[in-house]
Amino acid sequence: MGTYMHSDFRSQYRDANVRKKTSGSLQRYERACKTLAGGVSSGLRRAARPYPLFFDHGHGSQIVDVDGNAYLDYTLAWGPLILGHSPEQLQGALTSQVAKGLTFGAQHDLEYEVSEKLVAAIPCADRVCYANSGTEIVQVALRLARAITGRPRFLKFEGHYHGWDDSVLVSYHPGPQQLESQTGPVPGGIGQLESRAIIAQWNDRDSVERAFAEHGAEISAIICEPMLCNSGCISPVPGFLEFLRKVTESHGALLIFDEVITGFRLGLGGAQEFYRVTPDLATYAKAVGAGTPVSVLAGKWEYMKWIAEGSVVHAGTLNGNPLCLAAANAALEYLAANGGAVYESLHRRGQRLRDGVRKILTAAGHEVTVTGEGPAFGVHFVGHPLRNYRDTLHIDKAKYADFSLAMLDEGVLLLPDGRWYTSTAHTDDDVDRTLAAVEQATA
Ligand code: PLP
């Protein structure tokens, strides 16, 4: 709240417009703040401008707020809605499961029906197991890696996000001063236990080799987002994932792809299929449930047998609950139809959108770098390519905040960090309307 210094994209005019038409959201936000800590259910949602909006319903590519404003949605609930909002493909499966039972805490048919689909789709999967969130399932993967290797630590990359557990919420978005003053992992906030992570730089082989030279005997695994979606949607440079595959093999460590975002988004087989590098373990938690809270660890039998035999503990009251698995089952069936043909149009439309956005912004005189792929890409006000988190520190984030406010006023909902997600529900007409909105925002 308050006034803004930046005049790009006529931000004061846009701010006034958006406030005028979203007064119902502001009222609700103020009411929620009185009983709900921060007025939101996840800390990151507080960053929204001019204040967090309240939504009433969504259908396909559109979401509608409590004041009746409809937006073309490229946030997709921070990624899960690969089929768009309230997809028809899932409605029947969910309502019939509601009538049959919400959860059993015991075995049912959907568990193996979904695991069969997952094993068929994911290159590294001989077996899978379920949990409820990405944060949880990453912890299962890291515990498994420690058990298998007998080593206590893991390597993660600066800027990569693997959930909010103390062990992994380090060196995620450290500020320039923290980077100068702190050596070792930088905690995301106070109150965190010390992490055993070893930090390296994305797309930088030397930093990985140095880490293994110094700590090789302690490193159980490398974990990474195979496309760095949480810091700029930065793709791996050619050969980098192959290098990670080799270096882990030669040091007896595991390679874990955190596919919470890329899974069932870059393709049916996720990033490992898209980049043709197969990790030992992979984690999933967004598109796999198409909007329901389910997460998955997939891995080779030689590793997953430790969970199968029970020596590595994996538990959870709501794991594999039938409601989420009914959604996952219907979503996976839709996505896998005709050999995953739907991904071709997902990439093609996303590509047209990202090219169009870049062209319009560039023609309007802005320095823009676009990263990522059609189904998940980043738009950044910066004049050089991005290789890793440190490069993202040069992005003009205040300018992007002004741009996304102007887009909101034009009826397009964007995430605050430059990330755009597309769904199978977005149409060519949606792309045209979005590009027209970008024209208006830059006018
Ligand atoms: N890993 C990645 C790559 C993520 O993007 C996220 C969440 O955004 C997580 C893990 C944590 O997942 P969750 O928010 O479901 O705990």
Query: Going by CA atoms, what residue is nearest to atom 10 of ligand 1?
Result: 162
- Residue 431: what pLDDT? 98
Q: Which residues are catalytic?
A: 161, 258, 286
Residue 3 pLDDT greater than 50, yes or no:
no
The reply to whether ligand 1 has any atom less than 6 angstroms from the CB of 135 is: yes
pTM of the model: 0.97
Half-sphere exposure (Cβ direction) of 289: Cα atoms closer than 13 Å: 27
Report residue 228's pLDDT band, with 50, 70 and 90 as the boundaries.
Answer: very high
Residue 295 pLDDT greater than 90, yes or no:
yes
Structure tokens at 12: 């004061």
Q: Mean per-residue pLDDT for 29-53?
A: 93
- Report the chain's mean pLDDT, rounded to a whole number: 96
- The rounded Å distance from CA 269 to ligand 1 centre is 18
Residue 235 pLDDT greater than 60, yes or no:
yes
Q: What is the pLDDT of residues 347-406, one digit of tens each?
A: 999 999 999 999 999 999 999 999 999 999 999 999 999 999 999 999 999 999 999 999
Query: Residue 68's CB: how many other CB atoms inside 10 A?
Result: 9
Burial class (CB in 10 A: 0-12, 13-18, 19+), 290: buried
- The rounded Å distance from CA 272 to ligand 1 centre is 18
- Residue 6: what pLDDT? 45
Please state the atom number of ligand 1 nearest to the C-alpha of residue 225: 3
Burial class (CB in 10 A: 0-12, 13-18, 19+), 354: buried
Q: What is the pLDDT of residues 303-361, one digit of tens each?
A: 999 999 999 999 999 999 999 999 999 999 999 999 999 999 999 999 999 999 999 99
Structure tokens at 191: 């109150």
Start-to-end C-alpha separation, the chain: 25
Distance CA 149, CA 135 (A): 22
Percent of the chain with pLDDT over 70: 98
The reply to whether ligand 1 has any atom less than 6 angstroms from the CB of 386 is: no
- Residue 7: what pLDDT? 53
Distance CA 291, CA 346 (A): 18
Q: Mean per-residue pLDDT for 257-265?
A: 98
- The rounded Å distance from CA 232 to ligand 1 centre is 15
Report residue 8's pLDDT band, with 50, 70 and 90 as the boundaries.
Answer: confident
Residues 6+ apart with CB under 8 A from 133: 163, 285, 293, 295
The reply to whether ligand 1 has any atom less than 6 angstroms from the CB of 223 is: no
Distance CA 50, CA 155 (A): 38
Residue 4 pLDDT greater than 80, yes or no:
no
Q: What is the pLDDT of residues 43-88, one digit of tens each?
A: 888 888 899 999 999 999 999 999 999 999 999 999 999 999 999 9
Q: What is the pLDDT of residues 106-162, one digit of tens each?
A: 999 999 999 999 999 999 999 999 999 999 999 999 999 999 999 999 999 999 999
Do 109 and 188 meet the contact criterion of CB atoms below 8 Å apart? no
